[in-house]
Amino acid sequence: MTPRPGRLLALAQLANSIGDGAYYVTSALYFTRVAGIAPARVGLGLTLAWGVGSLVGVPFGRLADRRGPRGTSVLLALGTSAAVASFLLVRGFVPFVLTACCYAAAQSGLAATRQALLARLVPPEERTGLLARLQSTLNGGLGVGAALGGLALSAGTPTAYRGVLVLDALCFLASALVLLRLPRGKAVTAPAEDTDGRGGAREDGTVGGGRLTVLRDRPYALLALLNAVLLLRLPLLSVALPLWITERTGAPAWLAAGLFVLNTLAVTLFQVRTARSVTGLDSALRALRGSGLVMSASCVVFAVSAGRPAWPATVIMVAGAGLQVVAEMQHSAGSWQLSFDLAPADRIGEYQGFFGTGATVARTAGPLAVTWLLLDWGSPGWLLLGALMPAAAHAMGPVARRAAGRTPRRAAHPAPERAAYMTPEPAAQPGPEPAAQPAPERASVI
C-alpha cells in the first residue's frame, strides 16, 4: 500500500478529533448556561440521542457497502458538521433532542462508513497497524482540542462556547474535504458460491437484497456482544473514576483529569507498538485474553484505594490507571483484527456498523451500570467487574473460531486496487461519538 490513503485517513481523523476534543469539554456548560437547558434534561436528551445512534450504524454501513463508502462518509461528515452548527440555534428541550439525535446518528454512521472505506483501500494485513496509527492520531487530536476547549472554559463567555461549536463544525467540514480526496476504490462483491441463505451474494456475484446479514450471523453477533462487555471500561475513565476519587478516596479531585491525560498520552505513544504483534486470529485472541487479565488486575488495584488518604490513594489510582491503559490498547488491537477478519468483504460497512454499536451502548448504558456497581457496592463491585472482564475476553476465543469456521462460505477479502492509490478518480460532488456527554471515548477510531 502506498502511504497516501493512510495519510489522508489520518488527516481526516486529526481534523474531526480536534473539534471533538474541544466540544466534549465544553458542551455540557454550553447546553446548560447558554442554551438554557436543565442539566437533567441534557442528560436525558443525550441518552435518547445515543440510543438513536446505536440503531443507525448498521443501516448506514449497509448503505456504504451498496453505494460506496467514500461518498457516504463525506455526506455523513457534512451532516455532523451541520448538526454541530445547528446547536448554535437550539433553544428548548425538543429542538435540542432532535438536533442531538441528528448529531449522534451522523457520528455513529460516520464511524461505520469510514471503517468500510479503510477496508476498501487498505490490504487486510495492514489494517490493524493503520488503525493503531489512527488511534494515536485520535488521542493527539483530542488532547489539542481539549486544550482549546480549556481556553473557552477559562473565558467562560457565551461567545467562547459558541466559538467551540463553530470550530467543531469547521473541523468536520475539513474532514469531509479530506475524505473527498481519497480514491473511490473498486466495488467489492461476494463470489457466486456464497449462497448460504444468510442474505449474501446472488448467483451473479452481486450483493443480495436489502436484508441485514449481520443480524442473522449469530457467532459475529455474539462476538460483538462480548466486545460490548469489554467496552464497559470506557465510562470508567470519564464517569466512574472521577466519582470514586471524590467519594471513596482521599485523593484530590484534580487527579481525575490527570488520569485522563495519562491515558491519552499513553495511547498516543504506545498504541502502534502494541498493535504490531496482532496479525491474525490467534494473535488477536491472545491480545484479548491478555487485556481481560490486565483489566482484572486494574480493577483489583482500584478496589484497594477505597478509604486511603491522599498520597497513598493517588499512587494506587495512578498504578490502576496504568494497567487500565495497557488493557485498553490490547483490547483495541485484538478487537480491530477480529471485527474485520470475520466480516464478509462485501458487507464490511454493515458488519462494522453492528460491531461499533458496542461503543454506543457503553456510552449510554455504561455510566449507569458502572456507577451503580462501583459506588453502591464499593470494593466488591470492583472485584466483580474485574472477574467479568477476563471471562468475556476468554469467551471470545471459541466464538471467534466458530465464526472463522465459516470463512470458506464468506466472501474473500481481496487486496485493494493498487492503481487506485496512485491515480485516484476525480472527486465526486456530494449528492442529494454530570448529566451530560462524558469525556471522549475511543472505541472506534475512524
Residue 406 pLDDT = 66
3-state secondary structure of 252: coil
The mean pLDDT of 211-219, rounded to a whole number, is 79
Residue 418: what pLDDT? 36
- Which stretch of 40-49, 259-268, 374-383, 428-437 has the lowest confidence by average pLDDT? 428-437
Identify the band that residue 122 occupies on the pLDDT scale cut at 50, 70 and 90: confident
For residue 160, pLDDT over 70 is answered with yes
Region 389-402: what's the mean pLDDT? 95
Whether residue 276 is predicted with pLDDT greater than 80 in this model: the reply is: yes
Percent of the chain with pLDDT over 90: 45
pLDDT at position 39: 82
Q: What is the pLDDT of residue 422?
A: 32
Span 96-107, pLDDT tens digits: 999 999 999 999
Higher pLDDT, 160 or 187: 160
Looking at residue 211, what is its pLDDT?
61
Task: Tell me the average pLDDT of the chain.
Answer: 83
Mean pLDDT of 115-136: 88
List, for residues 189-206, the tens digit of each pLDDT value. Answer: 444 344 343 444 333 333
More confident residue, 207 or 256: 256
Question: Mean pLDDT over residues 46-60, rounded?
Answer: 86
Q: Is the pLDDT of residue 154 over 80?
A: yes
pLDDT at 399 over 60: yes
Q: Among 177-191, 353-367, 396-410, which stretch is predicted with the lowest mean pLDDT?
A: 177-191
For the segment 316-346, what is each residue's pLDDT rounded down to a tens digit? 999 999 999 999 999 999 999 999 899 888 8
For position 409, what pLDDT does the model report? 40
User: Who has greater pLDDT, 172 or 40?
Assistant: 172
pLDDT tens digit string along 370-380? Answer: 888 898 899 99
Task: Give residue 398's pLDDT band: very low, low, confident or very high (50, 70, 90).
Answer: very high
pLDDT of residue 445: 53
Give the pLDDT score at 195: 39
Model confidence at 41, pLDDT cuts 50, 70, 90, reads confident
Q: Could you tell me the three cell numbers for 274?
A: 502494541
**pLDDT band (50, 70, 90) for residue 300:** very high
Query: Which 3-state string (H, E, C) describes the chain?
Result: CCCHHHHHHHHHHHHHHHHHHHHHHHHHHHHHHHCCCCHHHHHHHHHHHHHHHHHHHHHHHHHHHHHCHHHHHHHHHHHHHHHHHHHHHCCCHHHHHHHHHHHHHHHHHHHHHHHHHHHHHCCHHHHHHHHHHHHHHHHHHHHHHHHHHHHHHHHCCHHHHHHHHHHHHHHHHHHHHHHHCCCCCCCCCCCCCCCCCCCCECCCCCECCCCCHHHHCHHHHHHHHHHHHHHHHHHHHHHHHHHHHHHHCCCCCCHHHHHHHHHHHHHHHHHHHHHCCCCCHHHHHHHHHHHHHHHHHHHHHHHHCCCCCHHHHHHHHHHHHHHHHHHHHHHHHHHHHHHHHCCCHHHHHHHHHHHCHHHHHHHHCHHHHHHHHHHHHCHHHHHHHHHHHHHHHHHHHHHHHHHHCCHHHCCCCCCCCHHHHHCCCCCCCCCCCCCCCCCCCCCCCC
Note the pLDDT of residue 192: 39
